[in-house]
A and B are shown apart, each in its own frame.
Chain A
């Protein structure tokens, strides 16, 4: 990896009351730790609530993918509040509607269907990350 690569901020919701919130968190870990660790940064939503400087700068300067577990869309709302650019706004419920066989259950610990739903969400996000232009593509610095 070089510093020239454009990294993507992954911002999951902090939903604690429903399994879909846990799916959003699991999907974020799958992307940032397994699928695209060299191109993504996990950003904690609580830091954006507080306005922590580094987290706010990160979402303001890097393209962001938000993952929300309910229709209140806290992650997307807070990234926009901090003037971030969202390249993909994922609603776990929408992904579930396309995969009705993967009904997530459990909050502290997801069932296997919930884990698989998280992997499906993560794979879709990884594809989006692959299509985010790297810095050199944006600046054209390597071109004559």
Chain B
């Protein structure tokens, strides 16, 4: 039986340098990549969609992506959709934190306690989304294989 390349999810964090919630997106993406879902995820630099080659731009057309944005501008989600392909799922840290009634993170260079809580929350939600996306893909491919 031939071995198929393992499917991975691309995580695109806005990394917004101006805001603490941007730092949260970056650290949450790294937590998922290194600790929570190693081997099932890759990170993608958002600017590469513009500054990189066609291969970078084509990524989200062929691989599922999850975008992680800090604020309502949603640079990662909108940038990914505009230059590569629609993300399979997306998170906005500001909304996630507010929805949980947590204080707004502070300290873009060095996160405060609220920021560290936001990283935990965002990373956990991201990992669940990775499972959902890969699970859905698995289910779709199983259906295709089962079809007569």
Q: Which residues of A contact B (CB under 8 A)?
A: 12-17, 21, 25-26, 28-29, 33, 42-50, 52, 72-75, 77-78, 81, 107-108
Q: Mark B36-61, 1 if CB is under 8 A from A, else 0.
A: 00000001011111111000000000
Which residues of chain B are near A73, meaning CB under 8 Å?
51
Q: A33-B109, A52-B73, A52-B75 are in contact. Are A42 and B30 (CB under 8 A)?
A: no
Question: Roughly how many angstroms separate A44 CA and B21 CA in the complex, as a whole number?
Answer: 12
How far apart sit A87 and B108, CA to CA, in the bound complex (Å)?
26
Q: A17-B43, A29-B108 are in contact. Are A50 and B79 (CB under 8 A)?
A: yes
B47 and A74 form a contact (CB under 8 A): yes
* Inter-chain contacts of B66 with A (CB < 8 A): none
Q: In the complex the two chains form, what is the Cα distance from A118 to B83 in whole Å? A: 31
A-B contact pairs, 5 of them (CB 8 A): A43-B18, A45-B15, A46-B47, A49-B79, A72-B51
Q: Contact at B15–A75, with CB atoms within 8 Å?
A: no
Q: Which residues of A contact B17 (CB under 8 A)?
A: 12, 14, 25, 28-29, 42-45
User: A44 touching B43 by the CB < 8 A rule?
Assistant: no
User: Which of B14, B29, B30, B108 makes the CB contact (< 8 A) with A46?
Assistant: B14
- B104 contacts partner chain A, Cβ-Cβ < 8 Å: no
Cβ-closest chain A residue relative to B16: A44
**A46 pairs with B51, CB closer than 8 A:** no
In the bound complex, how far is the Cα of B13 from the Cα of A29, in angstroms? Answer: 19
Contact of B27 among A15, A50, A78, A108 (CB under 8 A): A108
Bound state CA distance, A16 and B11, in angstroms?
11
For the A-B complex, the count of residue pairs with Cβ-Cβ distances under 8 Å equals: 97
- Asked if B76 is an interface residue, CB under 8 A from chain A, the answer is yes
* Chain B residues with CB below 8 A from A77, complex form: 47, 50-51
Report if B22 contacts A (CB, 8 A): yes
Contact of B73 among A25, A42, A47, A75 (CB under 8 A): A47
Also in contact, A46 and B109, with CB within 8 A (given A52-B75, A108-B30): no
Pairwise interchain contact A50-B15, C-beta atoms closer than 8 A: no
Which residues in window 91-146 of B have CB below 8 A to A?
Answer: 108-109
What CA separation (Å) do A108 and B35 show in the bound complex? 12
**A14–B44 alpha-carbon span in the complex (Å):** 10
CB distance from A85 to the nearest CB of B (A): 18
Residues of B within 8 A of A28 (CB): 17
Contact between A50 and B51, CB atoms less than 8 A apart = no
* Cα distance A22–B31 in the bound complex, in angstroms: 15
